[in-house]
Every structure is written in structure tokens, then in C-alpha cells.
Amino acid sequence: AIRIPGTRPAGVFTAGLAQKFVNLMGYLPGRRAVILGSGDIGLIMARRLRLEGVDVAGVFEIMPHANGLNRNIVQCLQDFAIPLHLSTTVVAIHGHERVEAVTVAPVDDQLMPQMAQAWTIPCDTLLLSIGLIPDNELAHQLRLRMDPVTSGPLVSSTMESSQNGIFACGNTVHIHDLVDFVSAEAALAGANAARYLAGDLPPQDNVRLVPGENVAYCVPHTVATDREHTLYLRVRKPLESCVIRFFTVDGTLIYEKKLRYVFPAEMVNLKVRPRFLENFHGDLLRVDVVAR
């Protein structure tokens, strides 16, 4: 729950539900919309609503950076002159049977609304684009071990879950930006599921990956030092001219790679090759992404 103060009238939708209304059912959710959150679906719906004749008053993001891909910010907001307000959030919903307005306010460094600077925007629709969670219902039913950050199951480098013979991939494990990465994970999981059935699955991983400074999560959660892996991770805050580093428990640097930039909305993917870990003999690595 996001606990926005105010009434609970009609006209408050998730961005995904509004997308279903417009694209599949041919219904408009309203005539003047405010969008809370800058996730990709919200950005795409801002453009879609504008194309359908809806007045989009703006996109409001509580964080100091957008949470959608940069190309969506450009193509969906800037190209259509839809304002993006960073470090700003909705603090109240007004209306009885239908949304009549929302009050928005800037936030400070601790994300606390500055009510003295709040203002009210007349609208009949509020869309929520404040993040996605994996489709994890089956994982919960199977009682798989879950990652509290991604809300998806823990997986090894073969995409095997905490229960032998159960493999997971794609948006069941963590939310992806691009279907290309989903397809790559699916191919890996499928191939290893077949190897499991044939009794030919590689030996278990021997290294656990732990998110460190400015890293929200890593997938897979474990790797093997004798095989090549693709590591996916997300950072907590944007950085330019940065470096990804792998450290042992005692702080010894094992490997590093320079990056031009990182952004929370864009998943980082990195090939981890055996030669990177040839001098490592422990069972845990911390992954940091920091400025150079």
C-alpha cells in the first residue's frame, strides 16, 4: 500500500490497468490525468493517453531520478511536452464519487513532503506507476526461497531454484528491461532443465554473490568459478564514470570493470569468466558499483 491521504474515489488506476483499458478494451480512463511514479509503463501510458486526446498534467517522481529507461523519457515525455517533476510526490487525493484533484508537494533529502510548497492539480484520473514485482505466485506455492529485494526466487547460475529440479527465469525471477535478457535466461533455464533430467547438470555453484555498495541485487545469486556466467544487477543510484568491483570478505579486490554510467532503470549485465576468479578461493563475493 502507498498510503496516499485523502478519499478513495473512482479514477485511481495502476498504469498497467489503464494500459489494458486503452489498448485492449478501447476505453479511456479519464480526460485529465496525473501520473505518480516514472516507471516505464507509466511513461508509455503518458504518451498513449496524450495520443488519445487526454490532457496529461505531468509525471511526478518521488526520487531525484526517473525510474524508467532514458529512451522512454525522451520519446514519451519530452517529445510530447509532458512535464516530469522529480523529487515530488502526490500527498492527497480529492473527490467523492470521482477524483476531482490531487495535491502534490516536493520532498526533501529524506523524502519527506514539504507541505508549505504543495499545490493542487485538477484532474479526474490518477495513474500509479511505482514499480513492478515478479509473477511469484507459483514460487510461493512451491515454498521456494525468495530474494526480499527482487521478490523473486533465489536462483543458481543454472537458473535452478532452492528446490532441486525447479528452474526459474525471466520476470518470475526479477523484472527485466528488455525481452532479449528474458529470452537468454529462458534458453539457459531450459537447457539446464534438460540436463537435469538427463543427469548431466553441472556441479553446484561454489560462490555466493552479495550486493554491496550501490547495488540493489544480483542475479544469479550464486556462481561457479570454473564456468562463464552472465551476471545481472541493478544499482540504487545513478553514477557516471564508475566501476564494478568484486571483493572478498576481507576486502581483497578480485576483479573490476569500468563502466561509462549506471542508472537504476537500466539493468547492468556483465560476463563473469573463469579467469576473473582464478585467484579467488573463498565462498562469498561482494559486488560494489562506485565512482572511479
Q: Which residues of 167-180 are buried (b: 16+ CB within 10 A; e: fewer)?
A: bbbbbbbbbbbeee
Q: What is the CATH number of the domain that holds 257?
A: 2.60.40
The pLDDT score that the predictor gives to residue 271 is 93
Residue at 153 is within a domain: yes
Query: For the chain, which residues score pLDDT lower than 70?
Result: 1
Residues, the chain: 292
Residue at 232 is within a domain: yes
Domain boundary among the residues 128, 152, 179 is at 128
What lies within 8 Å, CB to CB, of 87 at 6+ separation is 61, 62, 63, 64, 106, 107
Pairing of strands 253-262, 239-247: antiparallel
The pLDDT score that the predictor gives to residue 163 is 96
Mark whether 124 and 86 lie in a shared domain. yes
The pLDDT score that the predictor gives to residue 247 is 94
Mark whether 107 and 185 lie in a shared domain. no
Mark whether 21 and 120 lie in a shared domain. yes
**DSSP secondary-structure letter at 264?**
T
C-alpha cell at 171: 520476470
The pLDDT score that the predictor gives to residue 1 is 55
Q: What is the CATH number of the domain that holds 141?
A: 3.50.50.60
Domain boundary among the residues 184, 202, 220 is at 202
Contact indicator for 54, 30 with CB cutoff of 8 Å: yes
Residue at 5 is within a domain: no
The whole-angstrom separation of Cα 243 and Cα 292 is: 6
Residue at 221 is within a domain: yes
Residue at 2 is within a domain: no
**3-state secondary structure at position 6:** strand
Contact indicator for 12, 58 with CB cutoff of 8 Å: no
Give the domain range for residue 50: 12-128
The pLDDT score that the predictor gives to residue 160 is 97
The pLDDT score that the predictor gives to residue 131 is 82
Residue at 189 is within a domain: yes
In tens, the pLDDT along 245-282 reads 999 988 999 999 999 999 999 999 999 888 888 778 88
The whole-angstrom separation of Cα 173 and Cα 285 is: 21
Mark whether 178 and 189 lie in a shared domain. yes
Indicate yes or no: pTM above 0.85.
Answer: no
